[in-house]
Amino acid sequence: MLTVRAARGRQAGMTMLEVLVTLVILAFGLLGLAGLHIKIQTLDMEAYQRAQAILLLRDMAERIKANSANAASYERAADAVPPHYGTDWDRTFPNTHECADPSTTTWAEKDICAWDDTLKGASESSSGTKVGAMIGARGCIRQITAPDPTAGICQPGIYRVSVAWQGLFATTAPVAGLSCGATKYGANEAIRRVISNDIAVGLPSCMPAAL
């Protein structure tokens, strides 16, 4: 009888050990699934931010094309403080016009104010905070090539529209020519994301060289 009881005790002990091993394996599996879920969410957020940036880029490109005669008025000088629209910009222009008083702003300035609103996430808010755009969204507009309306030359103006934002993890730093938002997202430039588009603004009234 004692021998049978001892055997039963050993058998029960082995069963409990197997349960514990199974629980440990299950716990590691759940941790792995949780990590995978977090990674998927992070990648989804990265994709969302890039999609938003593309929309913002196209929006300003279309605005400049629609007001091509005043394309130079959209530029934010590289030495301006700050040299971008969106995050950190106080919504005032060098001529003292400001977004807060639309009656004083030009067509180009109204476009810039609307773009600034979108960069700051005004399209969606939560508890009074604008959350509809990317993290730290900034927009830059630079004149790459000045237009030359000289008859026979008719060189169109080239403008670069860039949108920068903060990524959720480090990848590779943007190329040297894309300086929009540089140093604004910490010391690690691999966190900064930038996309850009060069726009050629023609001179319809310019007379080409005679053939």
Question: Per-residue confidence of the chain (211 residues) as pLDDT tens digits?
Answer: 445 555 555 555 568 778 788 888 888 888 877 777 788 888 899 999 999 999 999 999 999 999 999 999 999 988 888 999 999 999 999 888 999 998 989 999 999 999 999 999 865 544 555 556 899 999 999 999 999 988 888 899 999 999 999 999 999 999 988 999 999 999 999 999 999 999 999 887 777 666 5
Asked if 91 and 64 count as a contact pair (C-beta separation under 8 A), the reply is: no
d(CA 134, CA 132) in angstroms, rounded, equals: 7
> What dihedral angle (degrees, nearest 10) is formed by the CA atoms of 131, 132, 133, 134?
50
- Token output for 8: 């039963």
